[in-house]
Amino acid sequence: MSTSQQYTIVPDGGITTPRGFRAGGLHCGLKKTQRHDLGAILCEVPAAAAAVYTLNAFQAAPLIITKESLAASGRLQAFVVNSGNANACTGKQGEADARTMRASMAKAFGLQEELVGVASTGVIGELLPMEKLSQGIARLPEKVTFTGSDDFCQAILTTDLVQKMICVQVMINGQPVHIAGAAKGSGMIHPNMATMLGFMTTDVKIEPEDLQRLLNEVTDSTFNMITVDGDTSTNDMVAVLASGLTGSDALHPGHPDWAAFAAAFRHVAEFLAKAIARDGEGATKLIEVKIDGAETVEAARAIAKTVIGSSLVKSACFGADANWGRIIAAVGRASQPVNVETVDIRIGDIIMMEQSRPIPFDEERATEYLKGDSVHIYVNLHMGQHSATAWGCDLTYDYVRINAAYRT
């Protein structure tokens, strides 16, 4: 196990590692290829649940239905997820189809309908092929197993090149508790959620209200701090299910182990967020932007998002061009307080600006650094004590190629 101060990473763990969870996936015909396009997560008991959703005004039908389910009791027992079709901007028929998916999932596993969440991802504006979906959902019980994490991960992918999954272990009340996560996302990625679906499972005992507050806090510094292309989609969602099957005492913010659990929870979310950014459509490298010395956390986040979202900064990273002028320009247009006399900029460990004055640097060394698969940009405003980090990727020729033919 890889060990941190408060939690350990489980190398072969997945979303079925926490007690009480099964998962799986299959191909039902939504995708032209034979890759899985329908998946499910199932809990043995109604689980405490929490979710965050896209801030796009056009929210897809599955989000509406999931909100309805979650509002009933704050608990969910299963998720059914399809890729290849977003069921977004499909009107009343789309909502009816999402409800049919929920009902079919409930019937297949003998659950109450309001304990089922629904998620979809793929092309916007097309009705779901419900006959294929219904037949596929009826086959899910034979595919949903305690070893089905990989199949579920494959089922939720669209233009993703890699699966994104992690599991950690943390001690709560003297007992090992697991937190796991799986996500998809590669394009249409921007803060305020992205074209991403994230699912987290844990076996800790926790009330839905405390779980929701934690998810809200963690999302602001992880999933809402990534960007690929500046587009926020219609279907984005991160959901968490807590089975409560480990331990008898409920975890809460006043509990002595709360900080350890929150740190482990954040690690899972940050890992998934960074994996999405690294797997950006056409990307060749992960870019991390850290802002220090801001007057407020909000200012630090806004500036970090502006720099990481700059097409010029992203293009310069792709071309291995140490053009720090693009970075300072992005800092200055973030509509946040900046002292134009006190800014430092560093790429990797190469100082390029100090107290808002250019510093001579080795261009060849900077170019070699930028050719790597990870780029770290550091900006210190020297105005306060607050900081924030954002993640993204470079902007490449392949991004245009992929999105010029997304529907074909």
For residue range 254-297, list pLDDT tens digits in order.
Answer: 999 999 999 999 999 999 988 888 776 667 889 999 999 999 99
What mean pLDDT comes out for the span 147-168? Answer: 86
Q: How far apart are CA 196 and CA 222, in angstroms?
A: 13
Share of the chain above pLDDT 70, in %: 91
Q: How far apart are CA 270 and CA 70, in angstroms?
A: 24
Residue 401 to residues 74, 121, 134, 404, 406: CA-CA distances in angstroms? 42, 20, 34, 5, 9
Structure tokens belonging to residue 270: 């940050």
pLDDT band with cut points at 50, 70 and 90 for residue 198: very high
pLDDT band with cut points at 50, 70 and 90 for residue 232: low
Among the listed residues 195, 219, 306, 389, the single catalytic one is 195
Q: Which domains does the chain have, with CATH numbers?
A: 2-278 (3.60.70.12), 286-404 (3.10.20.340)
What's the chain's average pLDDT? 90
Residue 195 among the catalytic residues: yes
> Would you say residue 405 has pLDDT above 70?
no
Place of tokens 């980090």: 389
pLDDT at 400: 73
pLDDT at 191: 45
